[in-house]
Amino acid sequence: MKSIVVFCGSAEGYNEAYMEAAYELGSMLATQNIRVIYGGAKVGLMGAVADGALAQGGEVIGVIPHFLKTKEIAHEGLTELITVETMHERKMLMNKLCEGVVTLPGGWGTLEELFEMVTWSMLGLHKKPIGILNVNGYYDALKALNANVVQEGFLNESFAKSLLISDSATELLDMMHNYTPPAVAKWLTERTT
Ligand code: AMP
């Protein structure tokens, strides 16, 4: 993987473990010569990821819609800041530029971005690994929900398993490097009939 998209909060979160993990992830990606693609803000976990990568001399590309440029306080020290018109354009470009996704803790914006990549994957629109860094148990509730969606018959288990989750960034990147996309149909009925 040469480029990874990082989705994460524009807030810092209350526990300092979140900002630390974001900064460390940025550093780690840069030291592995992996280019960071992200939302282009200098605030919250978003800013910490960029700063961690830039401090190691890494390449960081921000993709930000015009109307959020001032609101989210665009990072001025990036390798490149690409301005787009809409949120949809932002996500499409981020997807185009990356070979994998890492999701850190964040709010609804982060989750929306994560779920869009997950659903695109299920529909076969991309075959990229999607990783979730479970800092401080933040995504334990999502793990439980992921299991429940399968248990209640709304998701093929292969797709639930294809969501890569770890509390270690090193392990998560290994899982992403070794990722094989599920070779099953999206629809449960196709699996069961
Ligand atoms: P948040 O996790 O809510 O702090 O947001 C993190 C990132 O997600 C920010 O760059 C937001 O611009 C972005 N975001 C917020 N809402 C949405 C949305 N509806 N669709 C896509 N991205 C969003």
Q: Determine the distance separating the centroid of ligand 1 and the alpha carbon of 72, expressed in angstroms.
A: 10
Cα 67 to Cα 154: distance, rounded to the nearest angstrom:
36
Q: CA of 2: how far to CAs of 112, 180, 186, 191, in Å?
A: 24, 17, 28, 34
Domains identified in the chain and CATH numbers:
3-192 (3.40.50.450)
Say yes or no: CB of residue 40 within 6 Å of ligand 1: no
Residue 110 alpha carbon, nearest atom of ligand 1: 2
The pLDDT of residue 127 is above 80: yes
pLDDT at 192: 47
pTM (predicted TM-score): 0.93
Q: Is 20 helix (H, G, I), strand (E, B) or coil?
A: helix
Express each pLDDT in 50-70 by its tens digit: 999 999 999 999 999 998 887
Q: Which residue puts its alpha carbon closest to atom 10 of ligand 1?
A: 39
Say yes or no: CB of residue 13 within 6 Å of ligand 1: no
